[in-house]
Chain A
């Protein structure tokens, strides 16, 4: 499901025009990215937590050439699902 499909399906549920939904989604995403950019954690009760984590610097060795490279520390976004959604997903059969 891509961005447009998401907006369409949400608009159908909310009985609202797509343009309004699109605008709202944009502001929501904007707010979330901004907050994450400030290093804050965002928690959606029923869904999960978005969190900024720091990956420490590390030494990597290229397996074939043995070249060692110092990888600098970095900040990444991490998503951890809430237990609520985990429980819901338990009912889902495993197909693969």
Chain B
């Protein structure tokens, strides 16, 4: 931040030139202004100036303090203080460089309710994930070595599951087309799965008990027919081998269901078939998991869901942040982009690193930096171009060849006002300064009569609504101001 201090004399000079009055008049005016404000404050009044802010008198209570050297207690007297509250217009104007930043809520509403530390929340699931992934890998390799049907297992592992879940649902829909409770059924249908995820470790190893538990969860439902249908679908969830069998069963149930008055018949027909189911299950387990107990199966399901989610997630990530040309480069860029997004202060460094990648291309091209961009865009497969163009524009050296106007400096002219006039924002005065750097020693004090050429700039470079452009201009501003003050 520029800490240059401007005295009241300079203010007087500026006011005198702007309002085209004599300096003496301006000085008198300023004095009167200050004394008037003072007097009003002394009288206990509040002074409000339009477009600026409010002055108010504030009483600071006497307070106790300790003398650091002697350790003695002492009382500091209370005192009056002139407090100044800026108006919103002034606040906004001053805060312009940071106006694009917004408060970010770090916690979701769910997490915030629980008092668990966020670190633990983030770490624990991750650890479980990795553990399970390794477990799956081990299992898969084991199966591939032993199994007679390795292909089938892998399939059911990766994709089969989702289809499995969907299939019984569709059967249900067919069955209960006329009923209103379809949605309820659907929800209940998923319940066992959720349960399996949550309590995978606790779910007991034997198939029977597994069913009992599911029975419990479904038991809320009153319609018995549906309960049995659920059974059918639940078993399907457990193994692909059973799938065909169960489908048959479901068909059977369906046929029975059509004349659903005979409930007893339905129950009896389903019950044996369930036993049959169990048998098939037991048969199928040897070449599925070898000697592993049943709870492994549940873990499998859980693990495969996780695997699926992971694959889907990484695919999504890939889509959203495609690699640009080389893997390394994209990584650097991405990180740079992220850093810049979160911490404005970090931008210069980030730019510096990225700049390193591009300099060889862009330095020679100079003004026609834009031409470099399509080349790179061709190489890259996907749509990260806009970001790169801007970066190139911002980082590339600026060469001023074309000019849109020439201005002669007079007493009141300033680079910032010119910038506002030609580019729409005061921030971009630095570019005018750069274009005329050999004529201007100090941008704050330009010789009257100097001819200033206004360079033609790429419209993307002077986009005042883009915080990155403003940021860049601010950086340049700081750089030049520093150079001058040194």
Contact = CB atoms under 8 A, between A and B. Distances in A.
Interface in B92-107: 93-98, 101-107
B59 interface: yes
Contacts of B115: 66
B81 interface: yes
Contacts of B160: none
A83 B37 CA distance: 16
Given A69-B103, A81-B82, A40 B6 contact: yes
Contacts of A14: 28-29, 32
Interface in A63-95: 65-79, 81, 85-86, 88-90, 92, 94-95
Nearest to A4: B50
Interface residues of A, number: 64
Given A40-B2, A43-B8, A10 B32 contact: yes
A90 B57 CA distance: 12
B101 to A, nearest CB: 3
B93 A6 contact: no
B203 interface: no
Interface string A21-57: 1011111111111011111111111111110101000
Contact of A2 (B33, B48, B82, B416): B48
Given A13-B36, A89-B57, A89-B79, A41 B106 contact: no
B107 to A, nearest CB: 5
A23 B30 CA distance: 13
A36 B90 contact: yes
Given A36-B94, A75-B94, A90 B32 contact: no
Nearest to B25: A24
Contacts of A68: 105-107, 112
B378 interface: no
B420 to A, nearest CB: 11
Contacts of A29: 49-52
B486 interface: no
A39 B36 contact: no
Given A1-B47, A28-B29, A54-B1, A48 B107 contact: no
Contacts of B78: 94
User: Nearest 10 CB-CB pairs, A to B?
Assistant: A72-B101, A79-B84, A89-B80, A3-B50, A68-B106, A70-B104, A81-B82, A41-B5, A77-B86, A27-B19
5 contacts: A1-B46, A10-B29, A13-B32, A27-B18, A27-B19
Interface of A: 1-3, 6, 9-10, 13-14, 21, 23-33, 35-50, 52, 54, 59, 65-79, 81, 85-86, 88-90, 92, 94-96
Given A42-B5, A47-B37, A89-B81, 4 more contacts: A6-B40, A33-B89, A65-B109, A68-B112
